[in-house]
Chains A and B, each alone.
Chain A
Amino acid sequence: MLFPMKILVTAKRVEDPESKIKVKPDGTGIVPEGLKYKINPFDEIAVEEALRLVAKHKGETVVVSIGGKEVHEQLRHAMAMGVDRAVWVNHTGPLDQMAIAGLLKKVCEKEKPDMAILGKQSIDDDQNQVGQYMAEWLGWGQATFASKHESLDSDAEKSKTPALVVGADGKTVKVVREVDGGLGTVECTLPAVVTTDLRLNQPRYAPLPGIMKAKSKPIEELTPAGLGVDVAPKLTVLKMSAPAPRKAGIKVPDVATLMQKLKTEAKVI
């Protein structure tokens, strides 16, 4: 008999990596015009994993996003994939990773999920810190960089088998995770925070009936003040700049010239 699970997932709104991202000339941020946004791809993987677990165990999924009204798009996206309901922490303005982890911690205390599954990082600022802070502050177990044994083309993946395995007593979770040079397995007691790596699963697309259903799923609004979290940034972004353009390569006529250039110009040998 499987124990029902309540799983909390996150859906951060990030710039679509396929739209052209330009830094403002004064370095205060990026140019918003013409940008497209989407759910953080790592979070989408988290949503997928949560849905698979709940499909197996029964229970409930809740998605959280922090931001202005526009994050409803990402909440609806997750709900169209199948998440049951949403929590929206209404806040505009800059947030650092500690503020985000602080807000999510409070939401977890309120929702009391068995597991929180987050993307290992968000592709906008690539901090890779929120899950870790959260687990620490909640005093929960943590398993970062959850990954899969099999390839994403495997039959297990095609049949949407979850990669996270919850113990028969419903008290622990076993997670395969990416480590330098391979995979490791950890087991932690629940509740726990799991963060997802790229090779965990292939997220489903939301079918149109799912999108229709999502329209009437509830979004609960919370605020940092209501949650009692001080979100004043402790970290300030001073300046953004685009990476320097790469210099064009050159062609050399023969190996001798190559060696010579590597010595005198590139100074690598």
Chain B
Amino acid sequence: MADPKNQSSFMSSLCFGSIEEDLILPYPQMKQPERETLKNIIGSLEQLLKPHEKDFRVWDRAGELPPAFIEELKQFGLFSLVIPEAFGGMGLSATAYSRTLQEAAKYDASVSVTVGAHSSIGMRGLLLFGTDAQKQKYLPKLATGEMIAAFCLTEPGAGSDAASITTTAVKEGDHWVLNGNKLWITNGGIAQFFTVFAKTGGVGERGHMTAFIVTRDLAGISTGHHEDKMGLRASNTTTVHFDNVKVPLENVLGEEGKGFKVAMKILNSGRTGLGGGTVGAMKKLIELSTKQAKERVQFGKPIAEYGLVRQKLGHMVVECFAAESAVNMVNHFIDSGHEEYAVEAAITKVFGTEALWRTADEALQIAGGNGFMCEFPYERMVRDSRINRIFEGTNEILRLFIALTAMNEVGGELKELASSLKGVFDNPIKGFGVLSEYALRRASLATSVVKREKGAFTKLHPAVKEKQEQFQELTRDLAAAVDRILRKHGKNIIGKQFATKRLADIMIDLFVLASTLSRVSTAISEKGATACTKELEILEVFSGQVRRRVKSNFNKIDDNDDEHIKSLADHALDAEGYTWDNV
């Protein structure tokens, strides 16, 4: 990687039809000393959490992690994972952090979310934007857990539309006065350190937002009762209220007025923590389901011998491997200093949370009636995994984000061309006559005659050649589709969510496939194809699934029911219900 900072993201390039293979090859591996440390962490974490396996169920019912257990987590050092060594932390890389959260998630999602909300979002702003003085002051306390951190963005009226928050901060002399109410704040009731977002440009003025460090000792802060939830019941979720809280001027986090950017950066960089959590939970479910399937006998045989049970298990393995590959890849982007990873991080969140949801659902199905019983872990894992598709950006919002951000550069180029070559795009044939690089590129994509630069992998192992070619073909199709959709809708693409979602789904599939392809190819280069037969099978299955899904999504660009679906939604909205009940 030449200068990691000057590169566009893997997915932005892919939208042009370029495969930036150096970003994803070889498949990243952790360095030996960190791997050794990580193994020790995982071993210790197991010793810490395993004896509590029965407690987690009780705490889920009770809806709380007991203070003594939180104390045990602090003593263990679990709140210090991402804090630099100089401030008393473990200084883990994104890769090692994500792998540690996986391990916690295997035992209990409430534990991994308590730790994750602290490290991934609660104090992430301090790490990314804090001044030296701020870091000196808070990081050592955050590392020991003397301070637990929370991230306060959501409000009753502002969920996905975070820019519409109404909490305000007004500068008065040597402090800011903070007023407002935050909703569903993870760790709200146990945190001493809050990253709070407030409007600093008067009410209603979109965009003028600032991030603040607010500590529990300031007068005027209160937290509501612990919410009664479907899942993650033992993770603390409360409202947080600010009533004329005087926040010192030096507690501004990042630049004044740049709070929205701060919030988005935090969420982007924290997302792989959640991705790691989903992979951990999937691994655990595969363990549980395989044992269950071998033990349960029906019709005289263990149900593991029946095709429909094995089908579920096989799919679980493929999804877990694919999700893990993508999560590791994005962590590698972060650890190697590549700054453009927001789209790919969002992809791992969407893919990981949905793969976990399917896996948890099928694992429960394999367990049958037992799966529905609270004495088995399946129902809890299903309940716990549901929230993942909602928080840290709903998967709908993230799909829009993925597609629109990745296409942005193409759109930019289109726009430039549109102004300089007015009218050209109305007539693409004439457009080709204009020797613009862009048009040539498009022509080559459309016909695949002209070899486009970086349109193909050059460093994959020959054993995956067929999958490589399929990926390249899908990449050309993606670039063509992006081009067509942008031409068709122009800036109105913002309102075309059906089309955008289709592109997002294609992009999600392609990034996860690229990561998987890289992983399998690298494994073959290292160990030889005969030692990688299972990996090759996974690739075979996953790349087949992706190819079929992507093709189907391409077809649906023209051949779809969108208008009817919208019309039926309108109908239901109008009637506020279903209108064919004939009783």
Interface string of B23-52 (1 = CB under 8 A from A): 000000000010011011101100110000
Task: Return the contact of B40 from the options A33, A203, A209, A214 (Cβ within 8 A).
Answer: A214
Task: Return the contact of B43 from the options A33, A38, A72, A215 (Cβ within 8 A).
Answer: A38
Q: Interface with A: B71-79, B117-125, B493-501, which one?
A: B71-79
Given A73-B36, A76-B36, A208–B47 Cβ distance below 8 Å? no
Whether a CB of chain B sits under 8 angstroms from the CB of A206 is yes
Whether a CB of chain B sits under 8 angstroms from the CB of A262 is no
Do A73 and B39 touch (CB < 8 A)? yes
Which chain A residue shows the least CB distance to B143?
A209
Do B43 and A208 touch (CB < 8 A)? no
Do A73 and B40 touch (CB < 8 A)? yes
Interface string of A225-245 (1 = CB under 8 A from B): 000000000000000000000
Do B36 and A208 touch (CB < 8 A)? no
Whether a CB of chain B sits under 8 angstroms from the CB of A21 is no
Do B77 and A208 touch (CB < 8 A)? yes
Whether a CB of chain B sits under 8 angstroms from the CB of A207 is yes
Do B44 and A205 touch (CB < 8 A)? yes
Do B90 and A208 touch (CB < 8 A)? yes
Given A38-B43, A77-B43, A212-B90, A207–B36 Cβ distance below 8 Å? no
Q: How many chain-A residues does the 8 Å CB contact rule pick out?
A: 17
Whether a CB of chain B sits under 8 angstroms from the CB of A222 is no
Do B48 and A211 touch (CB < 8 A)? no
Do B36 and A206 touch (CB < 8 A)? no
Report the separation of the CA atoms of residues A72 and B85 in the bound assembly, to the nearest whole angstrom: 21
Do A208 and B80 touch (CB < 8 A)? yes
Q: Chain A's nearest CB lies how many Å from the CB of B390? A: 31
Q: Chain B's nearest CB lies how many Å from the CB of A235? A: 31
Whether a CB of chain B sits under 8 angstroms from the CB of A103 is no
Given A205-B47, A205-B48, A211–B40 Cβ distance below 8 Å? yes
Q: Chain B's nearest CB lies how many Å from the CB of A39? A: 8
Whether a CB of chain B sits under 8 angstroms from the CB of A8 is no
Q: Chain A's nearest CB lies how many Å from the CB of B79? A: 9
The 6 closest A-B CB pairs, nearest first, are A208-B77, A205-B47, A205-B44, A206-B44, A211-B40, A207-B76
Q: How many chain-B residues does the 8 Å CB contact rule pick out?
A: 20
Report the separation of the CA atoms of residues A33 and B530 in the bound assembly, to the nearest whole angstrom: 13
Do A207 and B77 touch (CB < 8 A)? yes
Report the separation of the CA atoms of residues A26 and B77 in the bound assembly, to the nearest whole angstrom: 46
Which chain B residue shows the least CB distance to A208?
B77
Whether a CB of chain B sits under 8 angstroms from the CB of A80 is yes
Which chain A residue shows the least CB distance to B91?
A212
Interface string of A192-205 (1 = CB under 8 A from B): 00000000000101
Q: Chain A: interface secondary structure?
A: helix
Given A208-B78, A215-B37, A80–B85 Cβ distance below 8 Å? no
- Contacts A73-B36, A209-B77, A212-B85 supplied; 6 other A-B pairs, CB < 8 Å: A33-B531, A206-B44, A207-B75, A207-B76, A208-B76, A215-B33
Residues of chain B contacted by A207 (CB below 8 angstroms): 44, 75-77
Interface string of B61-95 (1 = CB under 8 A from A): 00000000000000111101100010010100000
Total contacts A-B at CB 8 Å: 46
Do A211 and B44 touch (CB < 8 A)? yes
Which chain A residue shows the least CB distance to B85?
A212
Given A38-B43, A77-B43, A205-B47, A211–B75 Cβ distance below 8 Å? no
Do A77 and B40 touch (CB < 8 A)? yes
Which chain A residue shows the least CB distance to B527?
A33
Report the separation of the CA atoms of residues A80 and B37 in the bound assembly, to the nearest whole angstrom: 10
Given A80-B44, A205-B47, A205-B48, A211–B76 Cβ distance below 8 Å? no
Q: Chain A's nearest CB lies how many Å from the CB of B87? A: 12
Q: Chain A's nearest CB lies how many Å from the CB of B288? A: 14
Q: Chain B's nearest CB lies how many Å from the CB of A29? A: 17
Report the separation of the CA atoms of residues A215 and B33 in the bound assembly, to the nearest whole angstrom: 9
Report the separation of the CA atoms of residues A205 and B77 in the bound assembly, to the nearest whole angstrom: 12
Which chain A residue shows the least CB distance to B49?
A205
Interface string of B261-276 (1 = CB under 8 A from A): 0000000000000000
Q: List 28 A-B contacts (CB under 8 A).
A: A33-B531, A38-B43, A72-B36, A73-B40, A76-B36, A76-B37, A76-B40, A77-B43, A80-B40, A80-B44, A205-B44, A205-B48, A205-B76, A206-B40, A206-B44, A208-B41, A208-B44, A208-B76, A208-B80, A208-B81, A209-B77, A209-B80, A211-B40, A211-B44, A211-B90, A214-B40, A215-B33, A215-B37
Residues of chain A contacted by B78 (CB below 8 angstroms): 208
Which chain A residue shows the least CB distance to B32?
A69
Residues of chain B contacted by A80 (CB below 8 angstroms): 40, 44
Q: Chain B's nearest CB lies how many Å from the CB of A9? A: 17
Report the separation of the CA atoms of residues A212 and B81 in the bound assembly, to the nearest whole angstrom: 11
Report the separation of the CA atoms of residues A24 and B76 in the bound assembly, to the nearest whole angstrom: 40
Q: Chain B's nearest CB lies how many Å from the CB of A157? A: 14
Q: Chain A's nearest CB lies how many Å from the CB of B317? A: 13
Report the separation of the CA atoms of residues A206 and B78 in the bound assembly, to the nearest whole angstrom: 12
Q: Chain B's nearest CB lies how many Å from the CB of A80? A: 6
Residues of chain A contacted by B531 (CB below 8 angstroms): 33
Which chain B residue shows the least CB distance to A70?
B36
Do A211 and B41 touch (CB < 8 A)? yes
